[in-house]
A and B are shown apart, each in its own frame.
Chain A
Amino acid sequence: MTAATVAAARGRGRTAGHRVRPRKVAARVGFYILIVAFVVGSLFPFYWIVITSLKTPAELSAGTTSLLPGHVTFGSYSADLTQTSTTGLNFGRSLLNSAIVALSTTAITVVIAVLAGYALSRTRMRAKGPVLGFVLIAGFFPPLAMVGPLFLAYRHISLLNSYPALVITYLIYTLPLATWFLANFFSQLPRQLEEAAVVDGASRLQALRRVILPVAVPGIFTVAILSFILAWNDFAFAVSFMETPDKYTAPLAIIGLGQSQYQVFYNRIDAAVVMVTLPVALLVIFAQRRIISGLTAGALK
């Protein structure tokens, strides 16, 4: 029907017309073995985690290496979400903490980066080059080289063990990328859009909000997804700034569970691993292209 189907049909016809040579068959078999090996290698650890999380503690004590659960139970999940350990760790709470911090980071990143990206692509400010350069360099700043002074600063203003400490700090992961990406994105939009709005009497901020933002939704969406993932994945800052288990983010809680092995079974840890991975895994499956173009700041289209 379409050009693609026609091309596919023609391609098939061509291969059918060729005489099948043993070397080609071997190459093809090797190719598929390679693909299968990659898929198995990528997914097997994850499969194992899912299976283990569905086992009962009794089954686990008989060995962790069986590939099918004898008796599927979601007990580990409900235990993770409801039970609070003696140290005060509740994984449901940790997931909530992670969600609050990651979503706040995303919202703040989008607002600040939209403003900065717009200014960098649409005004004649002189410091454009230096600001872009600084933002790029900030994106390369080693997180562990900031953590000491920031710890002291947050302690001084009583922000340790609080959401704002993480949200502010996570902007180092998200803002440089988001600003660069949006500056690139805005500069590809036609200028006539806002010119018309401004001529109609709108202020420039109004023009940005009413005319540019609706058109920029795809770019903003990309930036939001990336910001969420980057904030959700952090461990270094969370382990440095969050002191009591009720404030732990999910990755921190998983390491906490892993270190108290004498109490916690693998099925509980693995259920937590599944839960922390699920949101990002869904984003990866459904928004892969956006994630890649965002991570390379649009350097590769």
Chain B
Amino acid sequence: MTSPQESAATAGPVTPARPAAASAIGRPTPDDRGPRDRRHYSLLARDRRFGYLLVAPATLVLLAITAYPLIYNIWNSFQRDVINSGIPPTFAGGENYKRIFTDNQFVPALAHTAGFTVVSVAVETVVGLALALALNRKFRGRGLVRAAIFIPWAVPTVVSAQLWKTMFDPQTGWVNYVLTSLHLPLANTTWLAEKWTAWGAILVADAWRNTPFMAIVLLAGLQVIPNDIYEAARIDGANAWRTFLRLTLPLLRPALMVALIFRTLSSFLIFDVVYAMTGGGPGTSTSVLSYLNWQAFFVYADYGYGGAISVALVVIALVIAAAYVRVFRSEQVL
């Protein structure tokens, strides 16, 4: 592994007091090739110990804030445990799991979450791709436009939800004002008071903040596609649509996959927007999994029920993560 020149260079200044110090960097030194003496093993052991020492803080912190809550939730999901009720926790068997699949909260919230994820990711991908393709062309002021469209992403999610809540306000908001002045339908809608209009408002708030992210990631992907490929396609007489389908899309695949999975996961875990805009209402018609999970803990104080929802949430997130890892492996982007 080490080239002769390098080993000569490292062998030179090494004093007997610090034998083969260079091997501590994690690469075999000339010594490694000889008989496997004790010194080699101790150096390797030292290197490993050093490595474990350095990853220990990160690993321990992450274990404490992920594995501990997970185990606690699994344990609790088999308990009847309402905090502050004065009743000590008792073993509940599969009661909580039976409850989440039969009550009128979890399954509707799961359906809402899945539906929202599909629709929001689809909308944000299509619009984001159009935007990325537009920004990939050279025009005056492109840098400025690129910076401008990314600004909504700088607004904290919950604040963007609050902002859009004021935009959709029936009396003082801009949405109804514009619809009224243009004599368009829905001008008198009380957006957050009905299920489907409330979902529309949530979708707009979410897409406003996240489409720019999608567009900028896809733009980064578009910019690594070499120009001469397009030149060749043009000379071959391919039209724009064919070039897009046969060249751009396949070459954009890695970036598209990365963006899709990022957005799928964060869409699936949507919480802030629902909390700030609708509180899951009207009724529970815009309730989503993360919001229901939060309610279970902080409104119902039911840690058994909340634990079961948390476990379900983790399982779904891990399925998405597994898809992510597979994609990364097959695309070899890491």
> B-contacting residues of A (Cβ < 8 Å)?
31-32, 34-35, 38-39, 41-46, 48-49, 63-65, 112-113, 115-116, 118-120, 122-128, 131, 133-138, 140-153, 168-169, 171-172, 175-176, 179, 184, 191, 194-195, 198-201, 204, 229, 232-236, 239-240, 250-251, 254-255, 258, 266, 269-270, 273, 276-277, 280-281, 283-285, 288, 292-293, 295-297, 299-301
Contact = CB atoms under 8 A, between A and B. Distances in A.
30 contacts: A38-B145, A39-B149, A42-B149, A42-B212, A65-B177, A112-B61, A116-B55, A116-B59, A123-B51, A125-B47, A125-B55, A140-B320, A141-B317, A143-B271, A144-B289, A144-B291, A145-B310, A147-B297, A148-B297, A150-B69, A171-B61, A175-B58, A175-B62, A179-B58, A195-B22, A250-B156, A254-B162, A255-B276, A277-B156, A285-B151
Give chain B's interface residue range (CB within 8 Å of chain A): 35 or more
B13 interface: yes
Contacts of A236: 271-272, 290, 294
What DSSP secondary structure best describes chain B's contact surface? helix
Interface stretch (B96-104, B165-173, B188-196, B241-249): B165-173
Interface in B82-113: 83
Contacts of B55: 115-116, 119-120, 125, 127, 131
Given A136-B325, A148-B297, A276 B159 contact: yes
A285 B212 CA distance: 13
A114 to B, nearest CB: 9
A175 B61 contact: yes
Nearest to B320: A140
Contacts of A175: 58, 61-62
A296 to B, nearest CB: 5
A45 B294 contact: no
B269 A300 contact: no
Given A145-B70, A146-B65, A49 B163 contact: yes
What DSSP secondary structure best describes chain A's contact surface? helix
Given A113-B58, A140-B317, A148-B303, A153 B66 contact: no
B118 interface: no
A283 B25 contact: no
Q: Which of A42, A168, A269 has the most CB of B within 10 A?
A: A42
A163 to B, nearest CB: 16
Contacts of A39: 145, 148-149
Contacts of A179: 58
Contact of A45 (B64, B167, B317): B167
Q: Which of B68, B70, B152, B158 has the most CB of A within 10 A?
A: B158
B230 interface: no
